[in-house]
Chain A
Amino acid sequence: MELELNIINIHTIMISEKILLAILMTSAIGAAAGYLGTLMLSKRMSLVGGPLGHLTLPGITLALIYGFDVSVGAFLMLVLAIVVIWLFEKRTKLPLETLTAIVFSSSVAVAFLFLPSEEVELALIGDISQLAFAATFFSVFLSVAAFLIVEIIYKKMVLIAISEDLAKSEKINVDKYNFVYLLAVALVIGLGIRIVGSLLTAAIVAIPAATSRNLSGNMKQYAYGGVIAGGLAGFLGIIMYHIFHVPAGPAVIITSAGLFLISTVLKKT
């Protein structure tokens, strides 16, 4: 009897630790993505988040086939894709959205040729059931790093969003700052892949920013509102996952969409 109780206790503690790790990781990634998303919204790039998420599919596929971390595969593939898109843009002068669409649909097509069918769900909507402490620690650390890097360049990115010519006239190296920002976005999306999969990444970047935009009266509130909305969606999404046993990725996104709906009601007209 005593042995049985001990086994139940150990089981409870293990579940709690797993959920705690999931909450920590998801809130940190959600907060960083929400913060970065405020700039993406201001640059009218929100929809780019979706294709960027899909671009990670070949990386995830490689990671699943060769047994390394999906976030590493996703991040490396994103960096490669960003460089390819940038080179195409320089060469063709076609709009960024068009080039992203071309590269992302090709990469999805290639990924599905090789993606093991039993791993499709994991790749598309994420899986946090096998979280380890090390992965959580690195995810939180890298999320904080992405946040801090973007915080340093935030004001310059705002000026670039208002007018690139104006920013250039103020001696701001627009290409350099855009590249640093995109790298940070790639990092956060790479991390977010584990939670929400490649299908839903646009949402972790775009929805918290839109929620914050509804409720903020100035730039500080807007930027840090993105952090709060993203972090809160991560936290509440994992609680929902734990209580209702629904997949974590969709739970996080549905929570975020719920927060957005509340913000539209609370928005001062």
Chain B
Amino acid sequence: MKNNDLALQVKNLTVELNKQKIIDNLSFEIKRGETLVVLGPNGAGKTTLLRALLGVIPYEGKVIWSVKNISYLPPNELLQRKEILPLTVEDFYSLKEVSREEIFESLKSVGLEQSIYKTRIAHLSTGQFQRLSIAWALVDKPDMLLFDEPTSGIDVGGTQTIYSLLHEFWKKQHLTIILVTHDLSIVWEHADNVLCLNKKGLCHGAPSLVLTTENLKQLYGVGVKYYKHSHNYDK
């Protein structure tokens, strides 16, 4: 593969926090325009991986970005902290340097009305808030989106909407996406590749090849089965 086809190369990444190895010698690559889903149980190092990729925490090894404009949405943090400040949608967008036209366009792209522009984000429903977060993350047209647990706390309908929206942006903007999730069901529909992480990289590749019962058992322990989203069971 040519290097300019790559969005990111990770080589021998090791992260230690409080003298504990959270990620151990992990290597993988992502092509431009690829959607990589990072799967793993709680405490597997998924969020730590994203934080290391962003350079927010110290690490050993190499993280080589070939894209410049990277957008990140942290896990649930925005949702939990939305009440702290009297932020309106307008205030929220003012934290990025974008024009009002771009803001209205971005709201429209996630199905939100212009009329919420002056609304306090604390007054939005959870679903509206998640749509807003996606619109906000994508308003300055990033090349890459890192998205951590985008649907936790959202019902099934809301979850589908979030993933459909992401899929639309992926097609339209030729986005490269790294998505951290617990949700196995979205893998078949949206992932080009899967990275199974439990401190070490346990598997990496196309879902149909690597999400075997054996690999999932190794990743999550006993009792996990993966069902393809095509109504044909792959047990």
CB distance from A32 to the nearest CB of B (A): 20
Please measure, in the bound complex, the distance between the C-alpha atom of A217 and the C-alpha atom of B146, giving whole angstroms. 31
Q: Does A159 contact B (CB under 8 A)?
A: yes
B94 contacts A155, C-beta separation under 8 Å: yes
Q: Does A169 contact B (CB under 8 A)?
A: yes
Residues of B within 8 A of A164 (CB): 56
9-residue interface stretch from B71-79, B100-108, B205-213: B71-79
Most A-side CB within 10 Å, residue of B55, B84, B90 = B84
Q: Does A245 contact B (CB under 8 A)?
A: no
B85 contacts A163, C-beta separation under 8 Å: no
Residues of A within 8 A of B146 (CB): 169
Q: A residues 142-195 with Cβ under 8 Å of B? A: 155, 158-159, 161-166, 168-170
Q: B residues 88-127 with Cβ under 8 Å of A? A: 88, 90-91, 94-96, 118, 120
Q: Does A216 contact B (CB under 8 A)?
A: yes
Binary interface encoding of chain A residues 60-103 relative to chain B, with 1 for a CB under 8 A from any of its CBs, else 0: 00000000000000000000000000000000010000000000
Residues of B within 8 A of A264 (CB): none
Residues of A within 8 A of B78 (CB): 162-163, 166
Q: B residues 53-89 with Cβ under 8 Å of A? A: 54-56, 70-74, 77-78, 81, 84-88
Residues of A within 8 A of B (CB-CB), count: 23
Please measure, in the bound complex, the distance between the C-alpha atom of A44 and the C-alpha atom of B118, giving whole angstroms. 25
B77 contacts A165, C-beta separation under 8 Å: yes
B95 contacts A217, C-beta separation under 8 Å: no
A217 contacts B86, C-beta separation under 8 Å: yes
Please measure, in the bound complex, the distance between the C-alpha atom of A221 and the C-alpha atom of B91, giving whole angstroms. 11
A165 contacts B84, C-beta separation under 8 Å: no
B56 contacts A219, C-beta separation under 8 Å: no
Report which of B56, B96, B120 forms a contact with A217, defined as CB distance below 8 A. B120
CB distance from B65 to the nearest CB of A (A): 12
Residues of B within 8 A of A93 (CB): 18
A169 contacts B88, C-beta separation under 8 Å: no
Please measure, in the bound complex, the distance between the C-alpha atom of A63 and the C-alpha atom of B73, giving whole angstroms. 49
Please measure, in the bound complex, the distance between the C-alpha atom of A147 and the C-alpha atom of B67, giving whole angstroms. 38
B81 contacts A163, C-beta separation under 8 Å: yes
The answer to whether A169 and B70 touch (CB under 8 A), given A155-B94, A162-B81, A163-B78, is yes
Most B-side CB within 10 Å, residue of A44, A166, A213 = A166
Q: Does A42 contact B (CB under 8 A)?
A: yes
Question: What are the 7 A-B residue pairs with the smallest beta carbon separation, nearest first?
Answer: A169-B72, A219-B91, A218-B88, A168-B56, A163-B77, A169-B54, A42-B85
Give 29 pairs: A residue, B residue, CB < 8 Å, sorted on A: A42-B85, A44-B84, A93-B18, A158-B85, A161-B81, A161-B85, A162-B77, A162-B81, A162-B84, A163-B77, A163-B78, A164-B56, A165-B54, A168-B55, A168-B56, A169-B56, A169-B70, A169-B71, A169-B72, A217-B88, A217-B120, A218-B86, A218-B88, A218-B90, A218-B118, A219-B85, A219-B91, A220-B91, A221-B86
> Could you list 16 further interchain pairs (A-B, Cβ under 8 angstroms) beyond the known A218-B88, A219-B85?
A42-B84, A44-B84, A93-B18, A155-B94, A159-B95, A161-B81, A163-B81, A165-B54, A166-B78, A169-B54, A169-B70, A217-B86, A218-B91, A218-B118, A218-B120, A219-B94
